[in-house]
Amino acid sequence: MTGTMLLALLAMQAGYLAPAERPDLATILPGPPVADSARAQADAGIFAQERGAVDGDRWRQAAADVSSDLPARFADALGFRLDLARLPATRRLLDRFGADRSAMVGAAKAHWRSRRPFVGGTAPICEPRTPALVANGDYPSGHTAHGWAFALLMAELLPDRAEPILARGRDYGQSRWICGSHSWSAVEGGYLAAAAIVARTHGSPAFRADMARAARELARYRLRSAR
């Protein structure tokens, strides 16, 4: 590996924001509901109600949305399949942004250490109850933050597709409480977390430059694909 390649890899892994620049989601988000509060009761009611929809079409979509392959899950909304192997600027943007998003959401989960709604019961959820899933806190939903942040970025890069992309981003997040892997409050927190992270990252000149590069790359890619 050349020195230039190594520096590029390290930059990608580092994200756009230094640790001290990353906003503390624990000071921004409302946090998980207090036990026995109206919000907690609403979460429990939503979880119980959705268990009656097992094996329906929306349940099956939620199961498919467990996948974090967002180019595949958003293909219809984008209007094309996002082949990141052929889109290096777009891939770099998403990878570097993802490093910041993962760090901030992970810190928030570690702060609250909230229990997922299915823990302690036997009600069905749409994915395996792995030890890793149980140990990974409920609030905020990382899946939702991932999907909504992706939708916000892609809507900006592809403004003519903004409506279907944003609608799919909302839908992808809702799959988490329909699945039962997250509470409704955790999904709400995921949307808010994504919005905060995207807003703050726009303050990075490197991020803005990479957004411009990705927009040009995607425009060329779509033009070639349409021929």
Whether residue 36 is contained in a domain is answered as no
Rounded Cα gap, residues 111 and 220, in angstroms: 43
Domain containing residue 97: CATH number:
1.20.144.10
Largest CA distance in the chain: 59
Higher-confidence position of 141 and 10: 141
Q: Does residue 116 fall inside a structural domain? A: yes
- In this structure, is residue 33 part of a structural domain? no
Q: Any idea which residue has 């409920």 for tokens?
A: 138
Q: Does 201 map to a domain?
A: yes
pLDDT at 4 over 50: no
Tens of pLDDT, residue by residue over 32-64, are 999 999 999 999 999 999 998 888 899 999 999
Let me know if residue 38 belongs to a domain. no
Q: Is residue 10 part of a domain?
A: no
Contact 172, 144 (CB under 8 A): yes
**Residue 14 lies inside a defined structural domain of this protein:** no
Q: How many domains does the chain have?
A: 1
Inside any domain, residue 213? yes
Q: Which residues contact 11 (CB under 8 A, 6 or more apart)?
A: 96
| Predicted pLDDT at 9 | 45
Rounded CA gap, 20 and 57, in Å?
44
Nearest to 197 by CA among 109, 104, 112, 106: 104
Q: What is the pLDDT of residues 118-174, one digit of tens each?
A: 999 999 999 999 999 999 999 999 999 999 999 999 999 999 999 999 999 999 999
pTM: 0.93
Q: How wide is the angle at C-alpha 31 spanned by C-alphas 25 and 37, nearest 5°? A: 175
Could you report how far apart the first and last alpha carbons of the chain are, in Å? 36
User: Which domain does 115 fall in, by range?
Assistant: 53-224
How far is the C-alpha of 208 from the C-alpha of 144, rounded, in Å?
23
